[in-house]
Each structure stands twice: as structure tokens, then as C-alpha cells.
Structure 1
Amino acid sequence: MNMKFIKKVPTAEEIIAQIPLPDHIKIIKQKRDQEIRKILEGEDNRFILIIGPCSADNEDSVCEYIGRLAQVQEKVKDTILIIPRIYTNKPRTTGEGYKGMIHQPDPSKEPDLCEGIKAIRSLHIRALTEFYMPAADEMLYPENYMYLLDVLGYIAVGARSVENQQHRLTVSGVSTPVGMKNPTSGDLTVMLNSIYAAQQSHNFIYNGWEIETTGNPLAHAILRGAVDASGRNIPNYHYEDLINIAYEYEKQPMVNPAIIVDTNHANSMKRYAEQPRIAREVLISRTYDSLLNKMIKGLMIESYLFEGRQDIGENIYGKSITDACLGWEDTERLIYRIAEKV
């Protein structure tokens, strides 16, 4: 066996007992969870913005960023509900590079997954306790969901994971809203199948248990663009793309059909500065068509304190070490502009 067993990882129960969520924050989170649910179920007409750094690399800078978001949230609360991104797990196409805080609590040091589990829970709880905004994270490893099950406000299943059976089955047992991205190929059937599977009940093995799930009616679509066989990016945020997926979605036997549009990744060709333009186009399409107005519930935007990206070791506070992001000034302007248009 080509494996070296380093140390046993604490169970979710042990970590939650060690780093508990305060009781008064549980009540605040439940209220926020209900608000997000009502938007996805069509009972609340507000628009969702899932926004924040590509990866959460530093607790202090992430919390400073979320603090700024919280101030803006208060000003746009009648039209927008903001869900900050705290992405602590990062997929790597080649397996190389920074894999997120869960792997390296300090990006400049060697991986330490036991400390990483504690670090990501502490970060989510700090952000929630200080700013009352349950955050979004990516379900890169289905088993790790249990460490954050009581703190997450939103979960995304990435383009490289959406066809994986264990992800789909795990989502069926999650009560949190989960966005299922289209795969990198852009095949919408894969995404729709994943949503359907996640909304059904299943029996399977999870963390050493035989379990039965009830299905997640809040599983929905995230459009992030695609990449063709030649490596060229293919956006799927244009009106024709949106109306096509909306019609296909309507044909499916699913509840709460909802779409979130990712303004970065293959939709922007990773040109982060294009995100405001893409957001504007999506809002125009949403205003133009009643079905899109009903189905497009929000946008996903990558943003941090400072624009662009840096390499690990440059140590620029509040600047992404993975994909390039919008800076704060452009982000604030964009949020106010979206609030005016929705």
C-alpha cells in the first residue's frame, strides 16, 4: 500500500464539542437560513449574492472583508441577501497548488489537516458570530461536511465533483441549500441529473454508517461556463443560454427550480474584471423574460480586499492566492448597482 498513515483525524463530534457554536448565534443562523430558503422557494423576491474570495487563505483578512460586506448588506437588505464566500477547500485540476485552509491553515507551511479542520471551523464561527452572516463553502470532500454542518448557510458542488455519486447522495441528506455547478464540459444534462438525484431519498454508506436520506429540495443549478475540447472557454450566461437551461429545467420533475449564475471561471474566461459586465447582462436578461426573472435567484462573484491575485509568499494582505478577484471598491459599486437593478 502506497500510503503513510500520519495521524488519526478527530471526528466531527469531537471537533464540534471542542469548537462549539454559541447558542445565541444558533438562533440568528436559523433566521438567516429561513430567509435563504424562502428566496429559493419563491416566497421572497430578494436577490442572492454569493460573494467573496476565491479561497479563504487568512482568517483576519477574510473577516475584515466580511465585515465590509455586513455594512453594505444593511444598506441593501430590502433587495439583496448577501452570502459571503468562505471557501476552505480548493479543487486542483492537476493535483498541485494550494488546496485550501483545510490542508494548510498557513499557506506558507506544510499541510496539517488536523489543524486545518479546526481552522476552518473557527473561521466560519468567527465570521458568523461577528457578522451574523452564514457563509458558503464548497463540498469538495463529502465526508468533511459534518465538521461544518451547523454553521454553513450555502454549499456549492464544483464542476469537477458534480457527476460524482457520493457528492450527489451526500447532498440528498443535507438540509442546507446546495448549488450544483455544470461540469467543465458544459453538459447541462449532467447538472440536471445531479440536481434530480440530490432531491431524491437514498440509502448508502457514509462515514462508516448505512444511512437513509430524505432528499434536498433546495438543490439547484449554478452556471459557471464550460471549456471545449480545444481548451477554449464557452460562456453560458448569455440570454440564449439562460432561456435554454430554464426551458430544460422546467421539463424536469424537480421542485424549486433555481439558477445561480457564476460571473467568474469559464464565464469570464477568468478575466475577473469582466464580472460587473456579466452581472449587468444577466440582470438585463432577467428583467426581459418573466421565466428568467422567476428562475434566476442570484449571482456568484469572486471578490476580495484587493484586486487580482498573488503567488504564495508575496504576503499581500487581502489579495487572492488562487483565482484573481475584484477589489473592494469595484465590489461595493457593483453591489449597489445590482440592488438598483433587481
Structure 2
Amino acid sequence: MSFTFLNQLPTPAQIKEEYPLSKELTELKAKRDAMISDVICGKDDRFLVIIGPCSADNEDSVCDYVSRLTKIQEDVKDRVIIIPRVYTNKPRTTGEGYKGIASQPDPEKAPDMVEGLIAMRKMHIRAIAESGLTCADEMLYPENWGYVEDLLSYVAIGARSVEDQQHRLTVSGFDVASGMKNPTSGDFSVMLNSVYAAQHPHHFVYRGYEVETSGNPLTHVVLRGAVSKHGNTTTNYHYEDLIRLHEMYDKMDVVNQAAIIDTNHSNSGKKFKEQIRIAKEVMHNRQLSSDIKSLVKGLMIESYIEEGSQKIGEHVYGKSITDPCLGWEDSKKLIYDIAEMNS
């Protein structure tokens, strides 16, 4: 056989029973979900800032980082809603390398999926409890949704997953804001078709069951730049890109037209400091065009305690072991600048 079956994984219900979310935090999440939903639906003119490490590789430093956002959120609460990035799954272009805490709780040890599911849930619960902020995660593996569905206030579907049928159908059953990134090719039509699919009901097989979903009206697009056929990065956050997206959205049978701009990845060419300039350009373009202002609801920013990145095994506290990130001081200033530009 090509498969060696190692362990029977615990069900989502079993993991939730062992690591439950308290009633108080459940109520907090419901309030946060409603606020974020109102932004996506155009009922609230606050701006979303989805910010945090490229990959949530260490519980202590990630929760430290997230807790630092609490005071800033209080300061900017009338203009900005901060959604911490606690990304527990890391997509790999070639399949090689660290795949996130959900697969590999210790980056220097072998994968352990059971311990990974536990580590993923424990970190999200701790982050909420210590910061009062519910978080975002990337749903790289759709079957993992049940393990965190009661914890997340935002879900991202990555550039390599957005064309996948199972991802699109699974998102149609989510009840929180869900961003579909443009594929690495940059094709807006693929991204918008994913939004259409996820906003509508479906009948399919999920985790061994025949299921029906009602559609997720909070599904929207995320622009993250692209890679050309020659391997060069190309951007898609400029004024002309956003006007084009607005026009294409108008031709689609979808509700709640919304876009989040990813300031890193191919938009920055992974030059992490460029995120500051890109964020400010997007905010400036919102001031220039009412169409862009109504469309662009937030930014994604990769940020950690220490700027840059390090190799696995170097052990610099709060420094990314995957893509390089903005450091804390730059990130803090940028959030306040974004709030000021949304006043």
C-alpha cells in the first residue's frame, strides 16, 4: 500500500470536550463576529487590520504578541478592528519545510498530528483569553474546521487552495468572514468564482458525511499579488487594480462586495518593510475614490515581535521562522497611522 496508517485522530467533538471555550469567551467571540460581519456587509465603517506572524510557531511568543495588541485596539476601537493572525498551518510551494504548529508542534521535531491539533486549539484559546481578541487562521486543510470553528472570527483561503473544489464548498458552510485569495497566477476571475461558489449552498461529502450547506454571505476576496509566467512578482493593490476589481464584482451575482489587501507576499515581493508603504497607499486610494473606500474593508499585515526572519533552531524569541515580518514598533505605529487615515 502507498499509505501507512499511523494514528486514528480524535474527533473535533473529543478535542473540544477536552479543551473547551468558556461561556464568557464564547460570548466575546459572538460580539466580535458580529462587528466584523457588519464591516464586511457595509453596516460599520471601521477598518479591519488582520495582523500577526507569518506562521504561529510558538505559543508563548505568539500569545505575547497578540496581547500587545489589546491596548492598541482600545485606543483605535472607533476606527479599526484588529484581528490577530494566529496561522497554525503553513502552505509550502514544494511540500518541503515547516508546515505549521498544527502539523509540527515543535519545529525541531518530527510531525505529530494529534499533538498538533491540541496545540492549535490551546494556542487559540489562550490568545483569546489573554488578549480579549478573537483571531484569524488559514484553513489550509478544510477537514480541520471542526477543531476551531468555535474559536475563529476570520478565515483565509490561500492562493494555492482557492481553486480547490473542497475548499470552496467547505467555506460555504462557515459562519464567519472568509477571505479567498487570488491564485498565484493573479487571475481575478478565479478568485471571484471562488467567492461565488462559497456564497451559495452546496451538497457534498465532508469528513465522511453527506452534508448540505447554506452558503456564506461573508465570503470576499483577498488581493495578495501574483507571480508571472517568468517567475517575477506582480502587484495588484494599486488604484487601477482596485477599480478593475470593483467593476468585475459588479458583474457577479454575489452580495457584500468586499476586499482585503494583503500587504506582503507577492504584493511586497516578500520585502517586509514595503508593507508600510503599501498599507498607506491603499489607505490613500480609499480617500481618493468612494468606490475603493466601499470595496476595501481591511489589510493583512505580517508582523511579529522581532523584525525579519530566522532559521529553525536559532531561537530568537518572537522572530519568524518562515517569511520575514515587520517588527513590533513599526507595526504599532502602522496601526495607529491606519486608524488616523480612516478617521
> Normalising by the residue count of structure 2, what TM-score does the alignment of the two structures yield?
0.99
Aligned pairs (5 A) from 1:249-260: 249-260=249-260
How far did 1:4 drift?
A: 1.2
Deviations 1:59-107 (A, max 9, x none): 0000110111111111111100000000000110000000000111111
Paired position in structure 1 for 2:149: 149
Write the distance in 2 (CA, Å) between the matches of 1:89 and 1:176: 19
Q: Deviations over 1:125-174 (max 9, x none)?
A: 01111212110000100000110000001000000000000000000011
**Number of the residue aligned with 1:224:** 224
Counterpart of 1:134? 134
- Partner of residue 321, structure 1: 321
Say yes or no: does 1:208 pair with 2:208.
yes
Q: Which residue matches 2:304?
A: 304
Supply the distance in 2 between the matched residues of 1:119 and 1:162 (Cα, whole angstroms): 26
Q: Within 1, Cα distance between the matches of 2:262 and 2:218?
A: 18
Aligned partners of 1:299 and 1:204: how far apart in 2? 32
1:298 maps to amino acid: G
For 2:332, the equivalent position in structure 1 comes to: 332
CA RMSD of aligned residues (A): 0.5
Distance 2:250 2:125 in 1: 37
- Cα shift at 1:194: 0.2
| Separation (CA, whole Å) in 1 of partners of 2:279 and 2:250 | 23
Q: 1:15-52, CA deviations, whole angstroms, 9 ceiling, x for partnerless residues? A: 00010001111111111111001111111100000000
Q: Answer yes or no: is 1:184 the counterpart of 2:184.
A: yes
Distance 1:326 1:251 in 2: 37
- The alignment of Structure 1 onto Structure 2 pairs a total of residues equal to 342
Q: What is the letter of the counterpart of residue 139 of structure 1?
A: M
Query: Does 2:84 align with 1:84?
Result: yes
User: Which residue is 1:69 aligned to?
Assistant: 69
Residue 59 of structure 1: aligned partner? 59
SS at match of 1:62: helix
Matches of residues 272-291 of structure 1 in structure 2 within 5 Å?
272-291=272-291
**Residue type matched to 2:250 in 1?**
E
Aligned partner of 2:64: which letter? E
SS of the residue 1:153 aligns to: strand
State how far apart, in whole Å, the 1-side matches of 2:29 and 2:136 are.
Answer: 13
Q: 2:25 maps to what in 1?
A: 25
Q: Distance in 2 between matches of 1:336 and 1:82?
A: 11
Report the 3-state secondary structure (helix = DSSP H, G, I; strand = E; otherwise coil) of the residue aligned with 1:307.
coil
Question: Residue in 1 aligned with 2:263?
Answer: 263
Residue deviations 1:107-127, cap 9 Å, x none? Answer: 111110100000000000011
Please show how residues 101-112 of structure 1 align to structure 2 within 5 Å.
101-112=101-112
Q: Which residue of 1 aligns with 2:9?
A: 9
The aligned amino acid for 1:230 is H
1:63 aligns to what SS in structure 2? helix
AA aligned to 2:78 is: D
Secondary structure (helix, strand or coil) at the match of 2:307 reads strand
Report Cα offsets for 1:306-342 as digits up to 9, x if no partner: 0000000001110000000000000011011111101
Query: Counterpart in 1 of 2:119?
Result: 119
1:272 partner SS: coil
Q: Distance in 2 between matches of 1:13 and 1:61?
A: 28
Structure 2: how far apart are the matches of 1:52 and 1:250? 32
Amino acid paired to 2:134: P
Cα distance in 2 between the residues matched to 1:2 and 1:165 = 24
Secondary structure, aligned partner of 1:309: coil
> Matched residues in 2 for 1:245 and 1:138: separation?
23
SS where residue 154 of structure 1 aligns?
strand
For residue 175 of structure 2, what is the amino acid of its counterpart? S
Unaligned 5+ runs, structure 1: none
Q: Deviations over 1:226-281 (max 9, x none)?
A: 00011000100011111101111111110000000000000000000000100011
Superposition TM-score, scaled by structure 1 size: 0.99
Task: Write the distance in 1 (CA, Å) between the matches of 2:127 and 2:250.
Answer: 37
